[in-house]
Amino acid sequence: MASQRKVAFITGANRGIGLETARGLAALGYAVALGCRDEEKGRAAAEELKAGGAADVEVVRCDVADIAGHDAVVRRLEERYGRLDALVNNAGIMVDPGDFSAGGLDTTLTVSMETLRRTFDVNFFAVVALTRSLLPLLRKSPAGRIVNLSSVLASLTLHANPKSPIYHMKAFAYDASKTALNAFTVHLAHELRDTPIKVNSAHPGWVQTELGGKAAPMPLDEGGKTSVQLATLPEDGPTGGFFHLGEPLPW
């Protein structure tokens, strides 16, 4: 059954930045499908959104790392909505050992190959696979939008600059996986350049989430703003870019 509302699917949407992105899109009148590994937590998040006024929210079980399960996600979204107007690839992990709070970290020679592979499986390979699977639904939208949740820590330009604020913050597995994700953004935007679909990477900011920690300067309720902006770009908006709150970031 096709939805009369614009439809957004957000992975990792039961908490943190994903939930705030869902809240922001729901406030704009979108039907929001919450992609969640844990359906019970997803239902709790959906009830929270509905209590806040969201009119059309549902939970879709989605473990992004379970690539074999992506077909079931596609079928559910197709049956329920008939198309997809915005895909927000929000789910991700950071499992590099160490603590940035000491003022610096470089895991390049210490992070295990297992951690590298696990990080890339979730932050890169799963995103590529899920996006490919959902492209037929995005093509049914008159103005499809794809948002890949990246990080300023993906910026090779800033990592190579001794004067940049992230110069000493080198969580190799996480950073490299997000740099690869940015490459996917650029390549996919080129592939889709003659379509209405726009593809961009988002740096949400250093947000007070379970991942960001309490020391982060950005409150949680602002963490979804960049993703919402990129998911709702107008026809003349950018594609193939890397942004934080409307400002471009260096690759």
Tokens matching residue 78: 């197709």
Spatial separation of the C-alpha atoms in residues 111 and 120, rounded to whole Å: 13
The SS3 of residue 32 is strand
Q: Which residues are catalytic?
A: 174
Residues 192-204 as b or e (16 or more Cβ within 10 Å = b): beeeebbbbbbbb
Element (H, E) at 61: strand 57-61
Element (H, E) at 200: strand 198-202
CB-count burial class (<10 Å; 0-12, 13-18, 19+) for 132:
exposed
Strand ranges inside 62-130, DSSP E? 86-89, 105-106
101-104, long-range: CB within 8 Å, 24+ apart, which pairs?
101/213, 101/215, 103/168, 104/168, 104/169
